[in-house]
Structure formats: structure tokens, C-alpha cells
Amino acid sequence: MAERVRFAICSRTATAAIAVVSTLLVACAPAARPLVGSPTRAILPPTNMAAGSQILRFTWTYKDETFEANGDGAVRAQAPDRARLDFFLKNGMAGGYAILLGDSLFVPGVDLVKRLLPPVPLLWSSLGRLALPPVPDTTARVDGDTLRADLGVLRGRDASGADGRAWRLAFGGTTLARVERIEDGKVIEWMSRRRGANGQWQLQYVHERGKRRLAIAVTDTTTVEAFDDAIWRRP
């Protein structure tokens, strides 16, 4: 009986510890603010990849609490839903790649690339394609030339008061500018995209809870006829 009592106490203690850690992790994420602007029933702008096939060359920097790295790379993007991302560390020390096909992300071998990349919906948003899981509710507001929309189980509210997971989109005019993943009213992670002074995309991914940051600066965009099917093959 004494052993059972000790086991029960330890189980309750472990459960309480897990709950405390979970609460602290959630507390590290900022609260989602209520949507601002005027309510609207406007249809969301199109969110598709650029037509055809493109190569986007870029530089990147990454930082978390224990690791920092930078380098260059390239994205080979083929509409409507294919992309291959190649990352190389500065000075050619190492590299890795990922293949994105629809809702599937394949990252062979090197842990570096797995560490860098956001989840599939946010990764697609970096290329201007919206690929979120189905949601029951949507609410939107317009503030100047910015359209924001919350998607999730909203129950008549916005993402700041949603149950469980929700998504917040922001459009600058007709351009997808930011996508946030919100959990129980907290902004857990987000992807932003904007045009830099050179006209190329500047992308930033932040995981607030994990304190991870990936910045990508596209340096050149080239349209090509097509890609060899070999680049999509998994080893």
C-alpha cells in the first residue's frame, strides 16, 4: 500500500510539473490582439504561387537559444504546389534540402534543415500560397489598405478569444503579408513577407515559444521553362 501511495504522489507531482512547464511555455508567447478596423465581408485575395516555374536565390540567417548559422540557398518553385528548398552553410561547410509536395514535407538526412524550417502551412505562405487546414469560422476587418482575417473555431469572436488553434492572415492590398498561428489566444509562430528595396522578397519566420528566428532575403528570381523531374524524387 505504501508503494502505491508513493507512486500516486509521484504521478501527481509529475503531472503538476508538466502543467507548470506547459503554462510557462504558453506564457512566453505574446497575446493575440483583437482585430482592428471595420468589419467586412470582402473575399480574400487569391493566394497562389506564381504561375510556371521559378528559381529564387537567397541568403539566410537563423538563430535560436543554442545555435546560430547563416548561408545561401535556392528555392525551385513550380505551380501549383511543388517546391524544393536547398540550404548551404556559409563557406560551403555543409548543406541540405527539403521537398514540399502539396501537404507533405520531406527532409532527408541533415538535421540542419529540419531545424530551420517552419511547419508546412507557414512554409507555403512564404511563397504566397495559402494552404491551411479546414476551419469552420472566418471573420475579417479592413484597416486602411490592410485586410486581416481570422480563421478557426471563433464562436462569434476573433482569434484573440478563439478556442484552441486559429490562424490570422494579413494582406497588404492584394498581397499576403503575414500568417500567424494562434493557440488559445497566444501567437505561437508567424511568417511575414514583404518586398525589399531591390523588389525581391524579404521573409521572416519566428517561433515565439521556441525563440527561433529564420530570415531569408531573396537576391534573384529567374523564370525557367521547367524542372527535371529528378529534383522531386525522394532518395
Domain coordinates of the chain in residue numbers?
1-30, 38-232
* CA count, 13 A, side-chain hemisphere, 55: 11
Which CATH code is given to the segment(s) 38-232? 2.50.20.10
State residue 7's pLDDT score.
Answer: 34
Identify the CA nearest to 166 among candidates 41, 35, 37.
35
Q: Are 190 and 23 in contact (CB under 8 A)?
A: no
State residue 27's pLDDT score.
Answer: 52
Q: Which long-range contacts (CB under 8 A, 24 or more apart) does 217-221 make?
A: 217/58, 217/59, 217/60, 218/56, 218/57, 218/58, 219/57, 219/58, 219/59, 220/56, 220/57, 221/54, 221/55, 221/56, 221/57
Torsion of CA 181, 187, 189, 192, to 10 degrees: 80
Phi and psi angles of residue 41, each rounded to the nearest 5 degrees, phi first: -105, 15
Query: Which ranges of the chain have pLDDT less than 70?
Result: 1-27, 92-93, 110
- Distance in angstroms (rounded) separating the CA atoms of residues 139 and 208: 24
Identify the CA nearest to 185 among candidates 152, 214, 228.
152
Angle at CA 170, nearest 5°, toward 169 and 173? 135
State residue 8's pLDDT score.
Answer: 39
Q: Which long-range contacts (CB under 8 A, 24 or more apart) does 68-73 make?
A: 69/112, 71/95
State residue 20's pLDDT score.
Answer: 40
Q: Are strands 104-106 and 137-143 parallel, antiparallel or unpaired?
A: unpaired
- Distance in angstroms (rounded) separating the CA atoms of residues 163 and 54: 39
State residue 25's pLDDT score.
Answer: 45
Mapped onto helix, strand or coil, the DSSP state of residue 212 is strand
